[in-house]
């Protein structure tokens, strides 16, 4: 009888040990999952702030081709004010929109960064700029300084600087627009083309001014 009792005690002790080991092994798994979750939270894509075309002052220089002047001559620059003309008001009436300059349906494509939160809009950001630099090149809050440094394009890209593509353009130039009449990227891009002039181009421009 005593022998049987001792056997039962040993079996019970072994069972407790096995059960305890299983519980202790489960705990690290839970903490690991928690750590993985925390790691995911810290790797969220950073949101860059919109600073407005007024912050792109360096590009006004002749050595940069006076890009703001070229932009000002495009329909992009008047995208917001266009919403107040007779044609826009007539279209808005048909769409039952009281004021196109206040409607999200219109502003989402007629104003750069309209959907961004207030904290991501700098002091020089305005609706009146319409479709400006940051619509195509990304919000410049972080790359404003980094892209100005020579041979620093990799960092500028990490800071949000973009090279526009056809896919970027057709997010607005598509059939959802009430004035859409087709979109030919190769032709359209020529209307907004701008670049930093080469040495030869600057010399040619200088000679032309001297005439």
Provide the whole-model pTM. Answer: 0.71
The pLDDT tens digits for 27-50 are: 444 333 334 344 434 445 578 999
Confidence band of 134 (pLDDT split at 50, 70, 90): very high
Taking residues 83-106, report their average pLDDT. Answer: 97
Taking residues 128-145, report their average pLDDT. Answer: 91
Taking residues 129-138, report their average pLDDT. Answer: 93
Q: Is the pLDDT confidence value at 110 over 70?
A: yes
The pLDDT value recorded for residue 45 is 57
Which domains, ranges and CATH numbers included, belong to the chain? 53-210 (1.10.1130.10)
The pLDDT value recorded for residue 38 is 41
| Sequential DSSP letters for the chain | -HHHHHHHHHHHHHHHHHHHHHHHHHHHHHHHHHHHHHHHHTTPPPPPPB--GGG-GGGGSGGGT-HHHHHHTSGGGGTTGGGGSHHHHHHHHHTT-S-TTT-HHHHHHHSTTTTS-GGGB-TT--GGG-S-HHHHH---TTHHHHTTSTT-HHHHHHTT-----HHHHTTTSSTTSTT-----HHHHHHHS---PPPHHHHHHHHHHHH-
């Amino acid at each position: 009888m005593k022998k049987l009792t001792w056997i039962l005690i040993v079996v019970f002790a072994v069972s407790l040990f096995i059960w305890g080991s299983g519980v202790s092994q489960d705990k690290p798994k839970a903490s690991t999952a928690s750590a993985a979750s925390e790691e995911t939270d810290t790797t969220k894509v950073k949101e860059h702030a919109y600073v407005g075309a007024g912050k792109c002052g360096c590009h006004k220089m002749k050595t940069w081709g006076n890009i703001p002047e070229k932009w000002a001559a495009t329909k992009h620059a008047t995208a917001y004010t266009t919403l107040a003309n007779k044609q826009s008001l007539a279209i808005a009436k048909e769409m039952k929109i009281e004021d196109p300059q206040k409607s999200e349906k219109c502003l989402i494509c007629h104003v750069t960064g309209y959907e961004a939160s207030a904290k991501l809009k700098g002091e020089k950001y305005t609706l009146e700029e319409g479709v400006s630099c940051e619509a195509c090149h990304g919000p410049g809050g972080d790359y404003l300084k980094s892209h100005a440094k020579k041979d620093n394009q990799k960092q500028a890209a990490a800071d949000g600087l973009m090279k526009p593509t056809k896919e970027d353009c057709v997010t607005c130039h598509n059939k959802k627009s009430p004035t859409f009449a087709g979109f030919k990227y190769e032709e359209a891009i020529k209307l907004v083309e701008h670049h930093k002039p080469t040495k030869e181009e600057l010399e040619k421009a200088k000679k032309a001014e001297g005439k």
